[in-house]
Amino acid sequence: MNLERNARLKVVLIDTRNPLNIGAAARAMSNFGFFELRLVSPYDVAFREAVSAVGAADVVKSAAVYPDVASAVRDCSLVVGATGLGHRQMQHPLHRLEKAGRLIRRHLESANAALLFGSEKFGLSNSDVAHCHWLAHIPTRPDHDSMNLAQAVAVCLYELIRHPSAARRLPEPAEAATGEEVQRFTQLLEDLLQVSGYTDYDLAKNGSDKTHRLVRRLHLRARDASVWTGMLRQILWKIRNP
């Protein structure tokens, strides 16, 4: 998470009616490492007291209030409006969030950007949109594209911190069982099958290959393999010592 880059993004909520939504948006910001919240004429001026969202306090406390959009984006060289598809007729450039995220991230490498969200009920107004270089569209279902405000904020910010190559930088997986451990397990299983009279696999023919493949497909972890072999050993002992 690149907090230095994130700090160049200003999240601007315009005409927000419900202070709980301000808190919920602030929580999503904090979750994803964005801290600069700007509010343009929030409906409830006492929003700071009304906010109860977990972990949102710091972001809300430092939020700045502006009388209009122009002053809220004054220091931003890129202004993007988050919107449903309703604004398509406005002839404003529109990018799906996947692409919008890439463009915004690139801009944030060196300069400030603002991401605008309109009111819960009406979204961005035409005059809000006029401040935007372009619009970002979360790819919702056309039949139901009105998102909850804070959920829209969360999804947009997730796209910004999302890392395409993150899958390659996963925490180390739990250690896999070694071939020896798997072999020990397989041998015990075969012993068990034999003493218990299981005849579907003919171990003298290709049955042993089958058990090997069967066990391989378990993708046993080291820790689990020793537990399993202990269990099998005990079961085997019980059969041999009834």
Question: Given the rule CB under 8 A, which residues bind a second copy?
Answer: 1, 24, 27-28, 30-33, 53-55, 88, 91-99, 102, 138-141, 144-148, 150-151, 154-155, 158-159, 161-164, 166-167, 169-171, 173-174, 221, 223
32 vs 117, beta carbon nearer a second copy:
32
Cβ count within 10 A of residue 147 = 19
1 vs 204, beta carbon nearer a second copy:
1
Q: What would the 3-class secondary structure string for the chain be? A: CCHHHHCCEEEEEECCCCHHHHHHHHHHHHHHCCCCEEEECCCCCCHHHHCCCCCCHHHHHCCEEECCHHHHCCCCCEEEEEECHHHHHHCCCEEEHHHHHHHHHHHHCCCCEEEEECECCCECCHHHHCCCCEEEECCCECCECCCCHHHHHHHHHHHHHCCHHHHHHCCCCCCECCHHHHHHHHHHHHHHHHHCCCCCCCHHHHHHHHHHHHHHCCCCEHHHHHHHHHHHHHHHHHHHCC
93 vs 179, beta carbon nearer a second copy:
93
48 vs 221, beta carbon nearer a second copy:
221
25 vs 72, beta carbon nearer a second copy:
25
CB of 171 to a second copy, least distance (A): 6
CB of 157 to a second copy, least distance (A): 9
Q: CA-CA distance, 116 to 112, in Å (whole number)?
A: 13
173 vs 179, beta carbon nearer a second copy:
173
CB of 227 to a second copy, least distance (A): 11
CB of 23 to a second copy, least distance (A): 10
49 vs 58, beta carbon nearer a second copy:
58
CB of 164 to a second copy, least distance (A): 7
CB of 98 to a second copy, least distance (A): 5
CB of 30 to a second copy, least distance (A): 5
Structure tokens at 4: 């230095």
Structure tokens at 6: 């994130």
